[in-house]
């Protein structure tokens, strides 16, 4: 019998995780089936209880269930506890543990996808929502020298700067409109806003233009739909190095894959399958 794996969300049709997770299982010859499950909010508890049965290795969790699953688990790791959100559940002999691999995926994308090591570096984080929280915590754990957090709503940036400071990394909160001035001294610029996202609040917008971006910087846009975002185009025009959000998406999935299977994830296969799945949608 193949092992059961998958992802829950509501809706779930947009997810490309089935495409790249199944490609990874097939590539290493693992006998598993990864499928999408549309689970309504009032059915989450019952669904999670069903994961304890033998034959299910675990699942990914996406919007809107990342917080809702927590009360149904036996334990959550540090990353999930800090984020207040779970994106991976592992079943070990009927015991369910919750994890959040976004921070690990973000760091692996920087290192393996762009050869960038955040230790002792100055970083500009654009945005202060859920993904920015994971990114700030990951940068703090990786030993970044200092952060500047720029957000449309200044108070949210201030709260996140405090979290960074509490984790040992000094951080300054500024308005998003001041980000162009702050960009000059950043070695890494990470976009965690929804600007530039298809069907988002500002599809064609970019938080920075080419003139603001130092050529020596690495610009990482977490937005992966489209693959080539307005910010990445501006960064390329500035001569900066660029890293698309698809890399973090794949590496967070790779970390989940390794927890379930105990085997190294074939990241290049996953990246190729994820990129192909996105291209089919563009
Ligand atoms: N690559 C990956 O693996 C990955 C993982 C997670 C998220 N993402 C992507 O990252 C993006 C943000 O996700 P999230 O979960 O952090 O969302 P979120 O919690 O809703 O936060 C949205 C952020 O975008 C800002 N924002 C929204 N509309 C804006 C506008 N018109 N102008 C300027 N700023 C605006 C918000 O500012 P305010 O605080 O002022 O509202 C907030 O900082 C999404 O595109 C998501 O798909 C990618």
Averaged pLDDT, 162-170: 94
180 vs 192: CA distance, rounded Å? 15
CATH code at position 160: 3.40.50.720
pLDDT for 184-193, tens place per residue? Answer: 999 999 999 9
Ligand 1 centroid – CA 196 distance (Å): 10
Question: What is the band of 235 on the pLDDT scale with cuts at 50, 70, 90?
Answer: very high
Q: Which residues are known catalytic residues? A: 66
Which CATH number fits the domain that encloses residue 52?
3.40.50.10860
Sheet holding 3-9: strands in order across? 32-38, 3-9, 56-61, 88-92, 95-99, 75-76
**139 and 77 share one domain:** no
Query: Is residue 83 located within the same domain as residue 167?
Result: no
Residues spanned by the domain of 108? 103-243
Does one domain contain both 67 and 185?
no
Claim to verify: residue 127 and residue 187 sit in the same structural domain: yes
Q: Which two tokens stand for residue 253?
A: 């999935």
- C-alpha torsion angle, residues 61, 197, 194, 72 (rounded to 10): -10
Residue 98: phi and psi, rounded to 5, are -110, 140
Distance 192 CA to ligand 1 centre (A): 5
Indicate the average pLDDT of the chain. 97
Q: Which of 282, 103, 271, 102 is nearest to 197 (CA)?
A: 282
| Residue 251 structure tokens | 């590496």
Q: Is the CB of 214 under 6 A from ligand 1?
A: no
Please give the backbone phi and psi of residue 46, each rounded to the nearest 5 degrees, phi first. Answer: -65, -40
pLDDT at site 281: 87
Check pocket membership of 180 for ligand 1, CB cut-off 6 A.
no
Same domain assignment for residues 238 and 108: yes
Say whether both 32 and 54 belong to one domain: yes
Q: How many domains does the chain have?
A: 2
Is pLDDT of 226 > 90?
A: yes
pLDDT tens, position by position, 99-116: 999 999 999 999 999 999
């Amino acid at each position: 019998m193949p092992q059961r794996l998958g992802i829950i969300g509501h809706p779930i049709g947009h997810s490309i995780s089935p495409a790249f997770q199944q490609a990874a299982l097939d590539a290493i010859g693992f006998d598993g089936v990864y499928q999408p499950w549309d689970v309504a909010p009032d059915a989450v508890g019952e669904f999670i209880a069903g994961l304890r049965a033998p034959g299910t290795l675990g699942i990914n969790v996406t919007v809107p269930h990342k917080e809702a699953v927590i009360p149904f688990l036996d334990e959550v790791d540090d990353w999930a506890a800090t984020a207040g959100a779970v994106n991976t559940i592992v079943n070990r002999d009927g015991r369910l543990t919750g994890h959040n691999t976004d921070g690990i995926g973000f760091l692996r994308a920087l290192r393996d996808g762009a050869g960038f090591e955040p230790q002792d570096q100055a970083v500009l984080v654009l945005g202060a929502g859920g993904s920015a929280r994971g990114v700030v915590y990951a940068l703090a754990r990786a030993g970044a020298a200092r952060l500047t957090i720029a957000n449309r709503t200044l108070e949210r940036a201030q709260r996140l700067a405090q979290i960074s400071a509490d984790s040992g990394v000094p951080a300054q909160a500024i308005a998003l409109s001041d980000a162009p001035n702050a960009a000059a001294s950043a070695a890494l610029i990470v976009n965690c806003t929804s600007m530039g996202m298809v069907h988002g609040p500002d599809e064609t917008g970019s938080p920075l233009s080419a003139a603001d971006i130092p050529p020596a910087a690495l610009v990482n846009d977490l937005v992966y739909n489209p693959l080539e975002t307005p910010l990445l185009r501006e960064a390329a025009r500035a001569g900066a190095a660029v890293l698309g959000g698809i890399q973090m998406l794949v590496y967070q999935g790779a970390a989940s894959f390794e927890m379930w299977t105990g085997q190294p994830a074939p990241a290049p296969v996953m990246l190729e399958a994820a990129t192909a799945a996105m291209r089919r949608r563009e």
